[in-house]
């Protein structure tokens, strides 16, 4: 027998899920293969690793959605993001390539993962890597300034301060 309070909760979760499929701001997490959220699924004679994909809302939709899948293939994110048409901020996981192909999603990379790769690159090209890390730190400083700002102010700060920093990093 279904508990009416539990049933209502399930209905509300479904409503939030439907809303968020069209309004999710960015960043399916986990953010890298090393950071995957493995969830051991146990039954009597076997264990399987499942995945929990986290979709983070924005200021207008301040909630997170947790999407459970039994594997790490792109079918889960593809299904969840099927009607999404904004920016997908994620790590370099190749599975996202198939998620963004043939639709209106713009793929953006994760600065934290890029910075980690630059730190690793210090072993082979220390001067170049250190300079790049410093430039990324400058971008982080702009984000700290913009942290509590309105969307419009953040956009203005990024245009004025981050855009020139990105151009230097690109060069």
Residues 6+ positions from 118 with CB-CB distance below 8 Å: 129, 132, 133, 136
Decide: pTM greater than 0.75: no
Per-residue exposure over 55-91, b if at least 16 CB sit within 10 Å of its own CB, e if not: bbbeeebeeebebebeebebebbbebbeebebebbbb
Q: Give residue 82's pLDDT.
A: 85
Q: Domains in the chain: how many in total?
A: 2
**Same domain, yes or no, for 91 and 38?**
yes
**Same domain, yes or no, for 10 and 89?**
yes
**Same domain, yes or no, for 90 and 133?**
no
Please give the backbone phi and psi of residue 152, each rounded to the nearest 5 degrees, phi first.
Answer: -65, -45
Q: Give residue 44's pLDDT.
A: 65
The last residue of one of the domains, among 94, 109, 124, is: 109
Q: Structural domain of residue 144, as residue ranges? A: 112-170
CA distance 72 to 74: 7
**Same domain, yes or no, for 26 and 101?**
yes
**Same domain, yes or no, for 92 and 116?**
no
pLDDT in tens, the chain (171 residues): 344 444 444 444 444 444 444 433 334 444 444 444 555 556 667 766 778 888 888 777 788 888 888 887 888 888 888 888 888 888 777 778 888 888 888 888 888 888 888 888 888 999 998 898 898 889 999 999 998 998 899 999 999 999 999 898 887
159 secondary structure, DSSP code: I
**Same domain, yes or no, for 118 and 71?**
no
The last residue of one of the domains, among 109, 135, 156, is: 109
Six-digit token string for 110:
């994760």
CA distance 77 to 75: 6
The last residue of one of the domains, among 109, 131, 160, is: 109
**Same domain, yes or no, for 96 and 164?**
no
**Same domain, yes or no, for 125 and 94?**
no
């Amino acid at each position: 027998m279904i508990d009416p309070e539990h049933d209502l909760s399930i209905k509300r979760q479904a409503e939030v899920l439907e809303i968020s499929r069209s309004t999710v701001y960015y960043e399916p997490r986990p953010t890298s293969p090393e950071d995957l959220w493995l969830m051991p699924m146990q039954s009597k004679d076997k264990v399987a690793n499942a995945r929990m994909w986290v979709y983070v809302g924005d200021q207008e939709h301040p909630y997170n959605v947790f999407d459970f899948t039994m594997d790490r293939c792109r079918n889960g994110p593809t299904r969840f993001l099927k009607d999404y048409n904004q920016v997908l901020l994620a790590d370099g996981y190749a599975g996202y390539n198939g998620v963004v192909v043939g639709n209106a999603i713009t793929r953006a990379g994760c600065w934290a993962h890029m910075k980690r790769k630059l730190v690793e690159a210090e072993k082979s090209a220390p001067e170049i890597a250190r300079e790049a890390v410093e430039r990324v730190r400058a971008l982080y400083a702009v984000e700290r300034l913009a942290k509590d700002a309105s969307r419009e102010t953040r956009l203005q700060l990024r245009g004025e301060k981050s855009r020139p920093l990105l151009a230097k990093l690109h060069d």
